[in-house]
């Protein structure tokens, strides 16, 4: 019996059966599919789907998130493709719609992430497991310590040019969950003008998508002499799948570290 599903972009897809051949176009959602127990069902992933390691080594790679190999996807004969509005391009989305039903996520908040996990659990026949994962994540985030007066953070995701995470991003939502205040008040991912007079308490250099290293800390410290500059784990700040199970433990340590400064 055909079932109709609505994705987070408010688009409908129709499935005759529980999917048996799935292609995942987003690293954090690939890891979620693994934790949902879809070892055999997932047949294709991107070159950036590095977790779990054994899938990264064994599963067919179908290009990058922004540059899919459409013919490689077609050759896998999927009955479901799972993507994301921000990660995948509109042109790729249009092309792969001709191959199989495409379910897209659109995640800006913690609630969006919880909804995505639950919806995918229903979509792939793993309802109870998706509920278990969601409840654990929600519980851990609710236990994060609350800071009385939020400290401001400028969160860099790229160099040359410098891009920062602004409002209406998942990173912004996680900064708020940690009781930080985003120093960038612009939407999405604006280029940061180094002549800007922002004076954040902290400058976070993300480990991804640009791999900031120790050498970049000194460069940023010169730009922000009154701030504490440090490298943070970009996966915990931007992956919205089952990696969120471990993010609160990292955040608690980070908050404690910064509170002692």
Sequence spans of domains, the chain: 3-140, 151-259
Q: What is the mean pLDDT of residues 47-55?
A: 97
Q: What is the mean pLDDT of residues 35-43?
A: 98
The burial of 30, by beta-carbon neighbours within 10 Å (0-12 exposed, 13-18 middle, 19 or more buried), is given as buried
Is the model's pLDDT at 106 over the cut of 80? Answer: yes
In CATH, the architecture of 3-140 is 3-Layer(aba) Sandwich (3.40)
Tokens of 252: 């608690």
Residue 230 β-bridge partners:
204
Instruction: Report the pLDDT value the prediction gives residue 259, as an integer from 0 to 100.
Output: 83
Which residue did the predictor score with more confidence, 160 or 127?
127
Instruction: Report the pLDDT value the prediction gives residue 194, as an integer from 0 to 100.
Output: 78
Q: In which band, very low, low, confident or very high, does the pLDDT at 1 lie, cut at 50, 70 and 90?
A: confident
Instruction: Report the run of H or E that residue 116 belongs to, with start and end.
Output: helix 110-123
pTM: 0.95
- Taking Cα atoms as reference points, which of 114, 149, 143, 118 lies closest to residue 248? 143
Q: Are 56 and 49 in contact (CB under 8 A)?
A: yes
Q: How far apart are CA 25 and CA 68, in angstroms?
A: 8
Q: How far apart are CA 120 and CA 136, in angstroms?
A: 16
Q: How far apart are CA 74 and CA 130, in angstroms?
A: 28
Superfamily of domain 151-259: Nitrogenase molybdenum iron protein domain (3.40.50.1980)
Contact partners, residue 249, CB within 8 Å, separation at least 6: 140
End-to-end CA distance of the chain: 60
């Amino acid at each position: 019996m055909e079932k109709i599903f609505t994705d987070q972009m408010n688009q409908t897809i129709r499935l005759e059966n529980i999917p048996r051949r799935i292609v995942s176009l987003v690293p954090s959602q690939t890891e979620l599919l693994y934790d949902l127990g879809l070892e055999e069902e997932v047949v294709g992933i991107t070159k950036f789907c590095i977790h779990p390691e054994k899938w990264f080594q064994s599963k067919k790679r179908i290009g990058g998130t922004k540059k899919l190999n459409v013919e490689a996807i077609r050759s896998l004969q999927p009955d479901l493709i799972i993507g994301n509005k921000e990660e995948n391009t509109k042109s790729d989305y249009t092309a792969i719609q001709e191959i199989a039903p495409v379910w897209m996520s659109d995640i800006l908040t913690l609630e969006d992430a919880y909804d995505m996990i639950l919806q995918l659990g229903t979509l792939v026949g793993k309802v109870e497991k998706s509920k278990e994962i969601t409840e654990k994540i929600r519980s851990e985030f609710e236990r994060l310590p609350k800071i009385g007066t939020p400290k401001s953070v400028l969160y860099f995701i790229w160099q040359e040019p410098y891009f920062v995470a602004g409002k209406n991003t998942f990173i912004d939502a996680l900064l708020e969950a940690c009781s930080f205040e985003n120093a960038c008040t612009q939407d999405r991912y604006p280029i940061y003008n180094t002549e800007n007079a922002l004076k954040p308490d902290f400058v976070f250099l993300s480990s991804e998508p640009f791999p900031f290293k120790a050498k970049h800390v000194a460069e940023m410290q010169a730009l922000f002499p009154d701030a504490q500059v440090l490298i943070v784990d970009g996966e915990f700040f931007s992956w919205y799948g089952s990696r969120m199970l471990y993010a609160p433990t990292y955040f608690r340590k980070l908050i404690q570290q910064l509170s002692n400064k």
